[in-house]
């Protein structure tokens, strides 16, 4: 089951500068976490129930650094919260979606995550995310 939009991922050049912008909007940063496996540093906010993750690449070859170089800062991905990520990945695969991750990895906050290629989702990088609530 798809439960909700788990979060919106926003690619930024400089995490501290981006935090200032989002705090000026009236949100409060809750946590800053580095995820070496994804080569990102992330700052987590909540706007009501909606989680927002600012993402800064930590290496030149980070997917986020490459995105910012090529397309500039902005919305990087949308994550759908699901209850059984392996089952969802299997369904998407059967329906012809191009999976970036065939098996889930561990992402921000210890969630199980997997990405689906934007070329098969109408230009949107989609993340599936299963987390303990």
Binding site for ligand CMX (CB under 6 A): 9, 35, 38, 40, 55, 63-64, 66-67, 70-71, 76-77, 100, 107-108, 115, 117-119, 123, 125
- SS3 readout for 4-25: EEEEEEEEECCHHHHHHHHHHC
How far apart are CB 107 and ligand CMX at their closest, in Å? 4
Indicate the helix (H) or strand (E) that contains 113. Answer: strand 112-116
Nearer to ligand CMX, 26 or 33 (CB): 33
Residue with the two structure tokens 């909007």: 25
Distance CA 54, CA 10 (A): 5
Nearest to 53 by CA among 23, 85, 29: 29
How far apart are CB 11 and ligand CMX at their closest, in Å? 7
Nearer to ligand CMX, 63 or 104 (CB): 63
Nearer to ligand CMX, 26 or 60 (CB): 60
User: Which 8-state DSSP code applies to residue 85?
Assistant: H
How far apart are CB 78 and ligand CMX at their closest, in Å? 9
């Amino acid at each position: 089951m798809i439960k909700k939009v788990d979060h919106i991922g926003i690619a930024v050049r400089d995490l501290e500068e981006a935090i200032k912008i989002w705090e000026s909007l009236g949100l409060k940063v809750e946590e800053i976490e580095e995820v070496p496996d994804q080569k990102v540093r992330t700052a987590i906010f909540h706007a009501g129930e909606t989680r927002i993750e600012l993402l800064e690449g930590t290496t030149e070859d980070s997917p986020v650094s490459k995105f910012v170089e090529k397309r500039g800062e902005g919305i990087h991905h949308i994550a759908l919260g699901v209850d059984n990520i392996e089952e969802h990945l299997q369904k998407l695969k059967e329906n012809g979606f191009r999976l970036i991750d065939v098996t889930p990895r561990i992402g921000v906050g210890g969630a199980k995550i997997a990405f689906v290629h934007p070329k098969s989702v109408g230009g949107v990088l989609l993340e599936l995310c299963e987390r303990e609530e």
